Amino acid sequence: MRVRVAGFVIAVVLACGAHAEAPRDALLWPYAVTSAWNRPIGANAVYSTESDPETRDMTNPAYRWGINAANGYGIVTAIATESDPLMTVTCRLWVYPKNAWAETPVGQNLPYRLHWPRGVRHPVQYRGTRKAEGRLAEAGVPAHTPTVIYDATTGYTHEFYEIAVLSDTQAFARIHFTDDPDPTRFARTMGVEAKKKVCPEQNIVTGTGHPPPDVWPGKVGPRAAGLSFLGGALRAWEINAPGTPIRHALALALSRDLLIRECPDRRDCTVWPAADTDGNMKQQKGTLKYGMLIAIPPPGKGGPDLEALGLSETALRLAVCMRDYGLYVVDQGHARVLCAESTADVKRLERVRKELNRITPFLRVVRNNRPEEPVVGGGAPLCGMMPPPPTAPRLSSGAAEPAAGR
């Protein structure tokens, strides 16, 4: 089956089998076959027991599910072309007590220019201009919206966190990651230097989306675990089209009550593929580490018959994904929070959110998730297939269009 989404054509496999025939568009379905996000769980996976502390935290019924989409925290993906205006993005620090933009350390606040899709504008609360204590507050309160822009003129991808689009040609961002290797263009914007040192050859959409297992700390993206925003995001083309399988692991943010307490060595609070943590770990009270893989075991290993849970069509597809691929702990959240594309069907997601509490008692930690294995835990993949190889993002027309649903 082939589905057309906002100028793209992507092959969707509806049944388990061998590799999908057609390569996949890397902006719609990102990362290499070897990426943790694309590795299916295998028949030999080992799961935590019902009495393990991590299981007790993960299944605690006091913590309900949330799904970020059109609430300002859902991911925005878009493609820019040569016909779009050039935007100058300057990295700044947003100082919350003062509600003002502040200069970043010397050498980290030089501007970067990229083509910016005309249709991508985040809500900005303009505050006017004032200067105090050397801090800049020219305009704009930043939106938290995770934003991924693929610039088709250069082939480089850009990820932004807390960005304020001030005009058609100017924006401030608190964090900017890009796979552009040319220092004369990115001028050491925040995050890029860290990424270059970790894996300078990695493309954001066709690479792995995480650092090599021997690198820590190793941010390659803005998430607390050091991972890319695209990793584990529920895409609009997956949610909005009934019957479409979700064939990648999901990103999971957890309440600080469930995340592991501060470790003497922060690295001990992570497992691969995570390569960093949140900065305020002193407030965390739980046992779950950044990078842990959470999944629903198959029936032969204590899991439920998913079709017997009375789930809707969309919720059942999501539960199958949690069984076959799992969820990686990547960030702090209000409870148990999934990240979806901002253009996903909000009414459908709200129904799904309420149904997810039915699968909570069955969630377990996968104990033998090793980076060297193409299938998590080894053995035959539960879904019966491996993902097809990625290709560079492509447009079917010259118009700048977000990658899904806009």
Give residue 361's identity as a one-letter amino acid code: P
- Is the N-terminal amide bond of 217 cis, ω within 30° of 0? yes
pLDDT at position 274 is 93
d(CA 368, CA 366): 6
Strands (E), 62-209: 65-68, 76-80, 86-91, 93-95, 100-102, 112-115, 131-132, 135-136, 147-151, 156-165, 170-178
DSSP per-residue letters across 178-230: E----HHHHTT-TTHHHHHHH-TT--TTTS-SS--TT-SS--SSSSTTS--TT
- The rounded distance, in Å, linking the Cα atoms of 159 and 171 is 13
* pLDDT at position 143: 58
**What is the pLDDT, as a whole number, of residue 4?**
32
Per-residue pLDDT of the chain (406 residues; tens, 9 = 90+): 333 333 333 333 333 434 445 788 889 999 999 999 999 999 999 999 999 999 999 999 999 999 999 887 889 899 999 999 888 887 765 544 444 555 544 445 567 888 888 878 664 433 333 333 223 334 445 556 788 999 888 888 888 877 777 778 888 777 778 887 764 454 444 444 444 444 444 567 888 888 888 888 778 888 989 898 999 999 999 999 999 999 999 999 999 899 988 787 888 889 999 988 887 777 778 899 999 999 999 999 999 999 999 999 999 999 999 999 999 999 988 889 999 998 999 999 999 999 999 999 999 999 999 999 999 999 999 987 778 888 888 764 232 333 333 2
Task: Specify whether the CB–CB gap between 291 and 329 falls below 8 A.
Answer: yes
Tell which residue, 263, 177, 181, 261, has the closest CA to residue 226. Answer: 177
The Cα-based distances of 306 to 126, 202, 323, 361, 362 in angstroms read 48, 37, 9, 12, 10
* 3-class SS string, 361-397: HHCEEECCCCCCCCCECCCCECCCCCCCCEECCCCCC
Phi-psi region of 169 (alpha: psi -120 to 50; beta: other; left: phi over 0): alpha
pLDDT at 124: 42
> Which residue do the tokens 């046992």 mark?
287
At 86 the three-state DSSP class reads strand
Q: Chain-centre distance of CA 165, in angstroms?
A: 22
- Position 384 scores a pLDDT of 79
Decide if 115 contacts 153 (C-beta within 8 A): yes
Question: Identity (one letter) of the amino acid at 222?
Answer: P
Amino acid 182: pLDDT: 62
**Sign of the alpha-carbon torsion through 51, 55, 59, 60:** positive
Residue with tokens 């560079």: 392
Pairwise CA distance, residues 27 & 230, whole Å: 8
Q: Is the peptide bond before 273 cis (omega within 30 degrees of 0)?
A: yes
Neighbour-count burial of 186, counting CB atoms closer than 10 A to its CB (0-12 exposed, 13-18 middle, 19+ buried): buried
What is the rounded CA–CA span in Å between residue 141 and residue 61? 36
What one-character-per-residue DSSP string does 231-243 give?
A: TTPBPHHHHSSTT
pTM of the model: 0.84
